[in-house]
């Protein structure tokens, strides 16, 4: 095992599902101190597709769509002939409706099957990967939502470590 791979392996600590479940069931200050990342999943049917992702991905998608809307509006302001184009107006209206659907969407809590205690630096990388992270009083737990994701994310972080260090 390479140094980087063994370092990543050492960073993965033991299963702490029972402890985290106990913290989350408690009606205590500790539960109120929880910081959640990527724990909500969104599934929104848009005009031509279905959006599936977490809150950060939803916010990124809304930003992209708003930028696209601004570009289309700018084209409309610069070219009066576009205003008469039915297709252009339909595209604009669809985009506006899709943005509204995303903004009104309500996320559903993801089911976590296992909680692993991970170091802070790894939790930051996992948040960037869209993984569920729970932070409580300096502890960082990674919520495993499915085993396929678990393997893929570990391989992605391992590759990043090898590429940068």
Cα 52 to Cα 19, 43, 57, 61, 108: the distances in Å are: 30, 5, 9, 11, 11
Instruction: Identify the pLDDT of residue 68.
Output: 95
**What is the rounded CA–CA span in Å between residue 6 and residue 79?**
59
Residue 41, φ and ψ in degrees, nearest 5: -110, 140
pLDDT at 67 > cutoff 90: yes
Average pLDDT (150-154) is 75
Sign of the torsion angle spanned by Cα atoms 16, 18, 22, 24:
positive
Nearest to 116 by CA among 18, 33, 22: 18
Q: For residue 112, what pLDDT band results from cuts at 50, 70 and 90?
A: confident
**Boundaries of every domain in the chain:** 3-39+112-164, 41-104
Choose the weakest-confidence range: 42-56, 77-91, 125-139: 77-91
Model-wide pTM > 0.75: no
**Run of H or E including 50:** strand 50-54
At residue 164, does pLDDT exceed 70? no
**pLDDT tier at 28, thresholds 50, 70, 90:** low
């Amino acid at each position: 095992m390479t140094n980087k791979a063994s370092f990543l392996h050492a960073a993965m600590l033991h299963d702490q599902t029972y402890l985290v479940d106990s913290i989350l069931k408690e009606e205590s200050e500790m539960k109120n101190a929880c910081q959640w990342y990527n724990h909500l999943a969104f599934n929104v049917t848009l005009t031509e597709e279905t959006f599936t992702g977490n809150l950060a991905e939803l916010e990124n998608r809304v930003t992209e769509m708003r930028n696209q809307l601004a570009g289309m509006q700018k084209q409309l302001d610069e070219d009066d002939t576009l205003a008469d184009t039915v297709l252009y107006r339909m595209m604009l209206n669809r985009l506006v409706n899709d943005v509204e659907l995303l903004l009104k969407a309500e996320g559903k809590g993801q089911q976590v099957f296992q909680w692993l205690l991970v170091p802070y630096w790894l939790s930051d990388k996992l948040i960037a990967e869209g993984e569920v992270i729970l932070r409580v009083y300096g502890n960082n737990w990674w919520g495993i939502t499915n085993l396929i994701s678990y393997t893929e994310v570990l391989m992605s972080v391992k590759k990043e470590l090898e590429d940068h260090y």
